Structure 1
Amino acid sequence: MAIIQRSICSIILLVVFATVHAQQAIINTVGKDPFVGKTTEVVFKAKEGIWTFHGFNNAVIKTTYKPYDYSKTEQVSDAVIAKPPVVNTKITNAISQTVEWENLTSVVVQRDKLYYKTGKEVKVKSATYFTQGDTRGFRFQLFDNEQIFGGGERALPMNRRGYRLNLYNSSSYGYGLGAENLNFSVPVFISSAGYALFFDNPSKGYVDIGLTDKNILEAGFTSGELTYYVVFGKNLDEILNNYTAITGRQPLPPRWVFGNFVSRFGYQSEEQVKQVVGKMKQDRFPMDALVFDLFWFGDNIKGTLGNLDWVNTQKWPNAKQMLTDLKTNNNLKSVLITEPYILQNTKTYTEATPFMATGADGSPMMIPDLYFGTGGLIDIFRKQSQDWIWKYYKKQIVTNGVNGWWLDLAEPEKHPAGMMHNLKDYGVNRPMAADEVHNVYAHYFSKMFFEKYLYEQGDQRLVLLNRSGFAGSQRYAILPWTGDVARSWSGLKSQPLVLLGMSLSGLPYIHSDAGGFAAAEQADPELYTRWLQFAAFTPVFRPHGTALEDYDKSVKSIPSEPCFVEEPYKSIVRKYINLRYQLLPYNYSLVYDQAVLGKPLMRPLYYYNFADSVALKADEEFMWGDGLLVAPVISQGATARMMYLPAGKWYSLTNNSVTDGGKFINQPADIKQIPVFVKEGSFVPMWITKDTIKSTETYNSKDVTIRYYPSANATTYVWYDDDGTTPRTLEKADYELVTFKGVTAGNKVAIDITTNNPNQYGKKFKRKFNIELPVGIAAGQALVNGKPVDAANGGKQTDPFQQLSNDFITVEFTGKPLNVVITTGK
């Protein structure tokens, strides 16, 4: 069918503006007097539809087009929480019409095209509307060298130009490198030209990024409000800050989320759980959570979804006591899996049918081809459905003390096009078909969990793993994972790309089933080791894979837990798990940067600098926070890693050697190590203890080692600390920010330490900082506020897991500013 290109010719300009006392509407005919004033929105009436623009204070422009011949304009995404402000606006009429907001962003309407600018620079050129058959959407002309990132989970190169990506959340069992469409198809795309496009439409669609026409990005949808946001920023940091300002940021997780999750598919009895936990303790692996897969509510893989309780009292004789013992004796929190399907003949099926999604006739629709059995899908968009299923979750939380949840299959994995959903509770007065709401199904499930958990358990932070979602799902505290990735080298190679793509899509706690999930013919300890080395520097550390030989003899059982790996791999993995725990003060501080500034925990090397053309191609490396550069080893049999170091000096985390950046290096990387470098000037707070680390419960944030990596450039680092459990600590200002400023001149290292919360210090509260340098400290040559440090106060601190022996001095911090001057050398 011919494509109909819509025109914005012959327009009438309508400006809706606010005065101090009331809102008024002024209608200007094109070419008449310009407008200057405070507005909430600017509307252009065209021959075939209406364009509406909103300017936000944080360099964001919202654009909506409503064709006169289009009726499915409901907005059900829930992605954006920011309301358009009343802002100073200037509209000029010449050959084209220009709308400029007070933050110097503007949109130029010129015949049938839109141009978006910051200042005088055009960032987005030639944006147009199109319709083709049942698809409606927008086209944008791309610059010649423009790169496009984001789009959610894609096992593709970070630059997605040259691909056509489905916007339809999909599961993909056993995928590897090259999988284009996975569980999160988040419609936000970031350009190296300094802007992002966010298509706020959750219906089934696609984005063609230069595949059909190398110079065109085309986004098409089958239903829903036709809205997109242009988000400006000079780098990824600014763009994500502005994007998350309108879609929300992740609430703080509990500190134990940064520990080791013990998990497999799946534990089949209390006795088996005790055996695994005992073996993990015997082999000295720290751990913080234990995940129960679907056997907690049934004896089989199939036919049990919907029982929602511990139905086998022989295998689980006393669930409450078991979970209590795990927590009391081992500091292990419990996480239970759940799914949105209720199968026939399960414990709750009859009770659940009124709350299921329906067919066109209004009766519950059964799904016959679901892998786990025939059943229905909870219509999570109905408040009654939410209340019904929540009572089962609440029982496990209140009665049995469950600490976290794991929502699986919520894309939904099977979602027939003829299935209908009721969204009257959200203001939609017609049934909505599956394809119209598919991409926000999991989002609304997370929303329900978050709101009800916060209401019921107001003293605890929610832990919710969810395999799917939409833009804005981060607001509901989800810990997404990358689905059923293959236990293969291709599976491992895909993960840095998938995790970084999600990080740039506003979902910062993305992680993988470390070691790989999908069934393999035999164990590969080298693959397992390399995967866990990588996972140690990702938001959640959760080894998880299939071990189902008891149920299916054709499937090899390969345990996910590191205690079952042979030597020397076991010791290597233990070292990296312990390193993750040692980095707990550094890792936990990253949550503040996300919650306040929208920074992802994992960041590509070009996060602050699009101009580094080499970094733009270094897809398989990443920054963990601002300080650590990680180069995972993802090739079988590798003993070295060719990698790129950006400009500046870089210290090896494991041996303190210094390397100049701005070049490629071939770094040794035998099976015992992966390259991890620290950027000069970085402060890295660590938990260094001679005791065996068992869990995050024994962590004491009042006694922390601060590693400073000297630089001639002055640097500042802000360390965040709170109690690690209480919700809304940011809103209550119940936290501390300790600021470290450092600079090196010759052999003199100067460090200043201050706090935003000095009033909490006193007789019962003070901190001890062990300031550690990767260079020698001259004996007796350290001053604190101008006074010499006691010669006995310092020496060498040996890291038992990294085998480093660094010089350090200890300072007592009582809330008053400290100036520490250290002379290096011997």
Structure 2
Amino acid sequence: MHNKSGKYIFHLFIFLFSGALNIYAQSYTPGNCLGYRVEDNLVIFNCQNNVDVQIEQINSGILKIWYDTDSFIRNNESFAVILKGNKEQAINITEQPGSYEIYTSDLIVRINKAPFQIRIFDKWQKLLMEDYKNKGFEADTLKMSSYKTLKPGERIYGLGEKNGNINRIGSSFKMWNSDKPCYQQQEDPLYKSIPFFMSSEGYGIFFDNTYKTEYDFGTESESYYSFSAPGGEMLYYFIFGPTYKQIISRYKDLTGKPIMPPAWGLGFAQCRGMLTNEELTREIAKGYRDRQIPCDIIYQDIGWTNNLQDFEWRDGNYENPQKMLSDLESEGFKVIVSQDPVISQANKSQWNEADSLGYFAIDSRTHKTYDMPWPWGGNCGVVDFTKPEVADWWGNYQQKVLDDGVRGFWTDMGEPAWSNEESTDRLFMQHHLGAHNEIHNVYGFTWDKVVTEQFEKHNPNTRIFQMTRAAFAGMQRYTFGWSGDSGNGNEVTQGWEQLEAQVPLMMSAGMGLIPFWSCDISGYCGDIEDYEELSELYIRWLQFGAFNPLSRIHHEGNNAVEPWLFGSEAEAICKKAIEMKYQLFPYIYTYAREAYDTGIPVDRALMLEYPKDIEVADLNSQFMFGKEMLVAPVVEEGAAFKKVYLPKGEWIDFNNKHQIYNGNSWIDYPVELETVPIFVRKGSFVPQAPVMQYIKEKSDYPLVVDLFPADINKKASFDVYEDDGVTNDYKSDVFGLRKMVCKTTRTNYELTYKESESGNYLLQNRVVFYNLYLDTMPANVFINGEKMKAGKLSDHRFESVNKTVWNWNKETNILVIAIPKGYDKYTISIEK
């Protein structure tokens, strides 16, 4: 291991030794470029002041840029980056009188010689990014920084799960994973560190540094932005788009694809802080099934174990945990249990075992196990997941409850907890791979990596469910995320601002490659003393949470937050919102696969879909749910209207499917307590399923497709994705598609359906119902050129259909077309 922690300071002292009056006030830059050398797919520029600059072509749109003062040796290889450049692809560089130029098929890089300055253009000579003057690299005794020119009107998005406006201009941020219970809506830092951001100029930056990095987007000056670090390397990746979606997709190539949850992971989940016993778990399960409110997951929080973290069911709390898990599984429930990354000193047997094996982080002062205060279970040893031998040891422990029937984990408090900036004593922790100031931000990442890799080792080809609080870039390869302890701890009923802040935080998380995300529905913090008083906020939080890819109801302590506790009206409204999520499962699951393939999140800021619409550039209050649907959750107390912006095109009110709004406009949408403003782009399919009590309760459920035809001479299309939902075969492209296209002409709608299978996957035979919302009854309906008969159709949620039939409801103006099982390809023509 090559330790570089003090090298910048060392070289700075050498550089400033002669004649400097105040070495602490001085800084240095590369100065002038003295020459260069080429090594395969990279070039190294030699500059004054003992600074070398390496530019490596990873591919035509990704460049690795590294400033160094010795031999380009890292303390640790990148935790996040998995994409390597091709050394056989020689870099293309030419020399001009005052500059050097590097060419890829996408980019032109111009490097000014005196002083050294990097400027990057697209192949059409549009300037994308440039160093601010000569300050592409600047270092002093405290930190090293990179400054970039900030163009007028430029917008910055990203940094993952961060508070504030989605447009980061005018804000500054810090990366230091922090345990922040009941955090305020502008508080920073939070739990995760994703040092990746995008510019409206067509590029992204991934700063590959695990230290306490800082980002300033125009608060010091309107002329530049900067990112800096107190240690490690000034190493970043330039990622060309030019669109936001292309930038995210290339960042996905750089740091890895996000794993898909099991299908059931996209259902609803119930938790609470004191949900740590069998009786309560069974009671909650019965409450959901008795009331016919869909639910897939019940969590067990900290306290389910005898000790942290022995993975032993707490004595007296569980009569027969294996039977409990089996019974719940038979009713459609999966149980997820928490993990903490520590061993309590009270857990003498396991603590002594880990201590004797050297599996804890050590105290650099005593060279003994670091004595970590912990919020639960007393002082602990911090498990050192950076040590390779720890993996199998931990994996064997966690497998005990998986063998019992537990279906996954949520890894909690992996910052690690009580290690915020003010807890400077934690900096004396030493991990196998480095000092804590380097490892802190990746500590939770290394834990999640072990959890997932060990799960897959012990349970081959089984899809993991793992949700985490603390993480670093690249987390998507191993885990999902939730936003931690939100809510108003002083007065739970006043958590409206905290709820409102979760909307842009969710969108930002998605742009940081956390596509599978949840908040704690109800807000985690605050004691509930009056359920009726809290009911409105609870309803609005749940309505928002229903459109999170992962949906979990959770609250601290023994504050119960099941929907039926808030009164009959609240129960009915919440049941309807939960049922809508289950109905939309085929739509959501299709976009879950898109997230795996492309990195584009299910919940997405509108600027991802409408990058040229200036109205959405700073829009924090609504989001796209996939490409077809727009959701504007109500997050204001006592709201009678919701102000909603609709981009270009025409939009159908999903709550009243005959109501159409013109786009490029703001509307005041009337809302009641049960209203969730949802809109669908004209020219869309929205595939759905009947309401089930848990995902895939009936494996042969019918597909119910809402079709909103496009304008004349245009098409609507959608490929409904299916796989087995439980294995990792999706990574080998074992899946099926139901491809639907509807072309609108002046005289008819022509709908084509075709099934496609990849690998050895066999699509489930399904009845398919199409709902078309039309102004007038069609003249005729044909299938494959033959006239289809009209007939009666009752409630078609699980109706058995043995022949093609269509029905016109003159009261609702809905055309329903039913196609029985066995049709894998057909064309339907609907005459206007």
TM-score, length-scaled by structure 2: 0.88
Quick one: distance in 2 between partners of 1:482 and 1:671? 26
1:419 aligns with 428
Residues 606-755 of structure 1 aligned to structure 2 (within 5 Å)? 606-656=607-657, 657-688=659-690, 693-700=692-699, 703-712=702-711, 713-731=714-732, 733-746=733-746, 748-755=748-755
**Shift of the alpha carbon at 1:58?**
5.3
Matching residue of 1:280: 288
Q: Distance in 2 between matches of 1:106 and 1:87?
A: 16
State the aligned residue count.
770
The answer for the alignment partner of 1:773 in structure 2 is: 772
Secondary structure, in 3 states, of the residue corresponding to 2:245? helix
Residue 378 of structure 1 aligns to which amino acid in structure 2?
V
CA distance in 2 between partners of 1:280 and 1:798 (Å) = 21
Aligned-pair distance for 1:730? 3.4
Query: Which residues in structure 2 correspond to 1:339-488 (within 5 Å)?
Result: 339-346=340-347, 348-353=350-355, 354-360=358-364, 361-368=366-373, 370=375, 373-398=378-403, 400-415=404-419, 416-423=425-432, 432-486=434-488, 487=492, 488=495
Q: Which amino acid aligns with 1:10?
A: C
State the Cα distance separating 1:790 from its structure 2 match: 2.3
State the shift of 1:651 in Å: 0.6
User: Displacement, 1:433?
Assistant: 1.4
Residue 240 (structure 2) pairs with residue 246 (structure 1): no
**For the Cα contact (< 8 Å) 2:161–2:505, is it kept in 1?**
yes
One-letter amino acid matched to 1:272: L
Q: Deviations over 1:777-797 (max 9, x none)?
A: 735611222222222276886
What do residues 504-548 of structure 1 show as CA deviations (whole Å, max 9, x unaligned)? 111111210011101235341000000111111111010100243
Q: Residue 706 of structure 1 contacts residue 770 of structure 1 at CA under 8 Å; is this kept in 2?
A: yes
CA distance in 1, matches of 2:813, 2:540: 26
Q: Cα RMSD (Å) of the superposition?
A: 2.4
Which amino acid in the other structure matches residue 140 of structure 2? Q
For the residues of structure 2 that align with 1:201 and 1:460, how far apart are their CA atoms? 33
Q: Which moved more, 1:86-95 or 1:621-630?
A: 86-95
Q: Secondary structure at the match of 2:303?
A: helix
Which range moves more in the overlay, 284-293 or 787-796?
A: 787-796
| Corresponding letter in the other structure for 1:496 | V
The one-letter code sitting in structure 1 at the alignment partner of 2:326 is T
Distance 2:497 2:706 in 1: 36
Contact kept? 1:681, 1:714, Cα under 8 Å:
yes
Contact 1:202 1:436 in 2 (8 A): yes
Q: 1:805 to 1:433 in 2, by over 3 A?
A: farther
Would the aligned equivalents of 2:734 and 2:758 in 1 still touch at CA under 8 Å? Answer: no
Deviates more, 1:315-324 or 1:478-487: 478-487
The reply on whether 1:15 has 2:35 as its aligned counterpart is no
- SS across alignment from 2:283: helix
User: 1:499: Cα distance to partner?
Assistant: 0.7
**Judging changes above 3 Å, is the alpha-carbon distance between structure 1 residues 88 and 711 closer, same or farther for their aligned structure 2 residues?**
farther
Letter in 2 for 1:653: F
Deviations 1:355-393 (A, max 9, x none): 110011321010236565222211110122222222210
Question: How far does residue 75 in structure 1 lie from its aligned partner after superposition?
Answer: 3.4
Alpha-carbon shift at residue 770 of structure 1 (Å): 1.0
- Cα offset for 1:71? 9.0
- Tell me, what secondary structure is at the counterpart of 2:396? helix
Partner Cα separation in structure 1 for residue 229 and residue 30 of structure 2 = 19
Moved more, 481-490 or 643-652: 481-490
Q: Is the 8 A contact 2:111 2:118 kept in 1?
A: yes
| Inter-partner Cα distance in structure 2 for 1:783 and 1:494 | 50
Structure 2 CA distance for aligned equivalents of residues 254 and 805 of structure 1: 38
SS of equivalent to 1:677: strand
Structure 2 residue identity aligned to 1:743: K
3-state DSSP class of the match of 2:362? Answer: coil
Matched residue type, 2:299: V
Is 1:535 aligned to residue 545 of structure 2? Answer: yes
The structure 2 residue matched to 1:146, chosen from 129, 149, 154, is 154
SS in 2 for 1:198: strand
| Preserved contact between residue 296 and residue 695 of structure 2 (Cα < 8 Å) | yes
Q: Structure 2 vs 1, CA of residues 753 and 102 (structure 1 numbering), >3 Å: closer, same or farther?
A: farther
Report the counterpart of residue 807 of structure 2 in structure 1: none
Matches of 1:716 and 1:406, distance apart in 2: 37
**Which residue number in structure 1 is paired with residue 554 of structure 2?**
544
Distance 1:699 1:586 in 2: 17
How big is the shift at 1:326? 0.9
Per-residue deviation, 1:754: 2.2
Rounded to whole Å, the distance in 2 between the matches of 1:816 and 1:281 is: 35
Partner SS for 1:291: strand
Distance 1:343 1:765 in 2: 49
1:553 matched residue in structure 2: none
- Which residue identity is paired with 2:537? L
Letter in 2 for 1:46: C
Q: How far off is 1:3 after superposition?
A: 4.6
1:308 aligns with 2:307: no
Confirm whether residue 786 of structure 1 aligns to residue 785 of structure 2.
yes
2:498 equivalent in structure 1: 491
Q: 1:483: how far off?
A: 3.6
For the 8 Å contact 2:631–2:677, the answer to whether it is kept is: yes
User: How far does residue 9 in structure 1 lie from its aligned partner after superposition?
Assistant: 1.5
Q: Which runs of 4+ in 1 moved over 4 A?
A: 369-372, 758-762, 793-800, 812-816
**Amino acid in structure 1 at the alignment position of 2:427:** G
Give how far 1:649 is off: 0.5
Amino acid at match of 2:398: Y
Give aligned-pair identity as a percent.
24
Which digits, 9 at most, give the CA deviation of each residue in 1:164-212, with x for residues without a partner?
A: 2111111211123222321112101111111111101111221111112
State how far apart, in whole Å, the 2-side matches of 1:345 and 1:365 are.
15
| Contact 2:81/2:254 (8 A) holds in 1 | yes
Gaps of 5+ in 1: 18-39, 299-303, 549-556
Q: 1:96 to 1:778 in 2, by over 3 A?
A: farther
The verdict on how the C-alpha distance between 1:465 and 1:758 changes in structure 2, with shifts beyond 3 A counting, is closer
**Who is 1:207 aligned against?**
215
Structure 2 counterpart of 1:152, one-letter code: G
Contact 1:768 1:810 in 2 (8 A): yes
Change (3 A) 1:142 1:3: farther
Contact 1:379 1:421 (8 Å CA) reproduced: no
Q: Contact 1:285–1:563 at 8 Å: present in 2 too?
A: no
> Aligned partners of 2:775 and 2:446: how far apart in 1?
55
Report Cα offsets for 1:619-644 as digits up to 9, x if no partner.
11100111110001111000110110
The amino acid that maps onto 1:783 is F
- The corresponding residue for 1:564 is 565
Contact 1:72/1:224 (CA < 8 Å) preserved in 2? no
Aligned partner of residue 600 in structure 1, secondary structure:
coil
Q: Paired residue for 1:112? A: 116
Structure 2 CA distance for partners of 1:96 and 1:333, relative to 1, 3 Å: farther
Q: Contact 1:153–1:181 (CA<8 Å) still a contact in 2? A: no
- CA offsets per residue over residues 695-729 of structure 1, 9 Å max, x none? 11314366201111111132332221111111132
Are the counterparts in 2 of residues 152 and 505 from structure 1 also a CA contact under 8 Å? yes
In structure 1, the residue matched to 2:272 is: 264
User: How far apart, CA to CA, are the structure 1 residues paired with 2:440 and 2:813?
Assistant: 54
1:78 equivalent to 2:79? Answer yes
Report SS of the residue matched to 2:79.
coil
Which shifted more, 287-296 or 778-787?
Answer: 778-787
Counterpart residue type for residue 661 of structure 1: G
Kept after mapping to 2: 8 A contact 1:705/1:772: yes
Instruction: Give the Cα–Cα distance (whole angstroms) in 2 for the partners of residues 540 and 777 of structure 1.
Output: 39
- 1:500 maps to which residue? 507
Q: Deviations over 1:84-122 (max 9, x none)?
A: 124364312224434434322132111321111111111
TM-score of the superposed pair, with normalisation by structure 1: 0.89
Which consecutive unaligned segments of at least 5 residues does structure 2 have?
1-23, 420-424, 800-810
Q: Give the letter aligned to residue 768 of structure 1.
A: V
In structure 2, C-alpha distance between the alignment counterparts of 1:220 and 1:2, rounded to whole Å: 17
